[in-house]
Amino acid sequence: MAIPRSRMASLAGGFMARGRKLVVVAILVPALGVLDGCATAGGIGNPKDPIEGFNRAVFAFNDGVDKAVFKPVAQGYVAALPYPVRLGVSNFFGNIADVFIAVNNLLQGKLPAALGDAGRVAVNSTFGLLGLFDVATDAGLEKHDEDFGQTFGRWGVPGGPYVVLPFLGPRTTRDAFAQILDSKTDPITQLDRISSRNSLMATRIIGERADFLPTDKIIDEAALDRYSYVRDAYLQRRRSKIYDGNAPREKEDDAQFDDGLKYVLLQPPRNAVSLVKRPVDPEQAVTLIAGTPAADERQ
Amino acid sequence: MKLAYLLLAGFSLLLPAAANAQKSPADLPPDQLIRNVTNEVLEIVRTDKDIQSGNSKRVIDLVEAKVLTHFNFTRMTQLAMARDWRIASPAQQKTLTDEFRTLLVRTYSKALTEYKNQAIEFKPFSIKGEDTDARVRTQIIQSGAKPIALDYFLEKQPQGWKVYDIEVGGISLVTNYRESFASEVRKSGIDGLIASLHAKNRGTDKQ
The pLDDT value given to residue A140: 84
Say if the Cβ atoms of A224 and B177 lie within 8 Å.
Answer: yes
Contacts of B11 in chain A (CB under 8 A): 218, 222
B-chain residues near A211 (CB < 8 A):
2, 5
Cβ distance B82 to A245 less than 8 Å, yes or no, reads no
- In a 10 Å sphere around its CB, with 0-12 CB exposed, 13-18 middle and 19+ buried, how is residue A195 labelled? exposed
Interface contacts (A, B; CB < 8 Å): 141
User: Is A164 in contact with A59 (CB distance < 8 Å)?
Assistant: yes
How many Cα atoms occupy the beta-carbon half-sphere of A290 within 13 Å?
20
Q: How many angstroms separate the Cα of A185 from the Cα of each of A79, A190, B67?
A: 32, 8, 46
Instruction: Write out pLDDT tens, residues A226-267.
Output: 898 999 989 988 888 888 877 777 665 443 433 333 333 333
Task: Express each pLDDT in A190-217 by its tens digit.
Answer: 788 888 888 888 888 888 888 777 777 7
**CA of B203 to nearest chain A CA: how many angstroms apart?**
10
Instruction: Please judge whether B145 and A90 are an interchain contact, meaning their C-beta atoms are less than 8 angstroms apart.
Output: yes
The whole-number average pLDDT for the span A6-19 is 41
* pLDDT value, residue A252: 53
Which range has the worst mean pLDDT, A115-119, B78-82, B169-173, B187-191?
B169-173
Q: How confident is the model at residue A90 (pLDDT cuts 50, 70, 90)?
A: confident
| Beta strands in chain A, from DSSP E residues, in sequence order | 162-165, 169-172
Q: What percent of chain A has pLDDT over 90?
A: 16
Distance of residue A273 Cα from the nearest chain B Cα, in angstroms: 25
Q: For residue A11, what pLDDT is reported?
A: 41
Mutation choice for A interface testing from B3, B112, B180 by most A CBs within 10 A:
B3
Q: With bands split at pLDDT 50, 70 and 90, how would you rate the model's confidence at A18?
A: very low
Q: How far apart are CA B203 and CA A97, in angstroms?
A: 41
CB contacts under 8 A, A 257-296 vs B, are 257
Determine the average pLDDT of the residues in B128-148. Answer: 80
What is the tens place of the pLDDT at every residue in A132-172?
Answer: 998 888 888 888 888 898 999 989 888 889 999 998 889 99
Return the minimum-mean-pLDDT range out of A157-161, B45-49, B159-163.
B45-49
Domains of chain B: 3-177 (3.10.450.710)
Q: A243 with A282: CB under 8 angstroms?
A: yes
Confirm if A98 and A143 have CB atoms less than 8 A apart.
yes
Residue pLDDT, tens place only, B87-115: 999 999 999 999 999 998 888 877 777 77
Q: Is the pTM of this model over 0.80?
A: no
More confident residue, B85 or B21: B85
For chain B, give the secondary structure using H, E and C. Answer: CCHHHHHHHHHHHHHHHHCCCCCCCCCCCHHHHHHHHHHHHHHHHHHCHHHHCCCHHHHHHHHHHHCHHHECHHHHHHHHHCCHHHHCCHHHHHHHHHHHHHHHHHHHHHHHCCCCCCEEEECCCCCCCCCCEEEEEEEEECCCCCCEEEEEEEEEECCEEEEEEEEECCEECCHHHHHHHHHHHHHHHHHHHHHHHHHHHHHHHHC
Alpha carbons A237 and B167: distance in angstroms, whole number: 10
Distance from CA of A86 to the nearest CA of B (A): 11
- Check CB contact of A4 with chain B, cutoff 8 Å: yes
User: What whole-number distance in Å separates Cα of residue B81 and Cα of residue A224?
Assistant: 14
Distance CA B137, CA B45 (A): 22
In one-letter notation, the amino acid at residue A72 is P
Question: A238 to chain B: nearest residue by CA?
Answer: B170
Q: Is residue A62's pLDDT more than 50? A: yes
Q: Residue B170 and residue A224: Cβ atoms within 8 Å? A: no
- Please state, in angstroms and rounded to a whole number, the distance separating the CA atoms of residues B136 and A40: 43
Average pLDDT, chain A: 73
Residue closest to B177 by CA, chosen among B110, B104, B108, B87: B104
Inter-axis angle of helices B56-66 and B30-47, to 10 degrees? Answer: 160
* CA-based torsion, B68, B18, A295, A282: positive or negative: negative
User: What is the distance in angstroms between the Cα of A182 and the nearest Cα belonging to chain B?
Assistant: 14
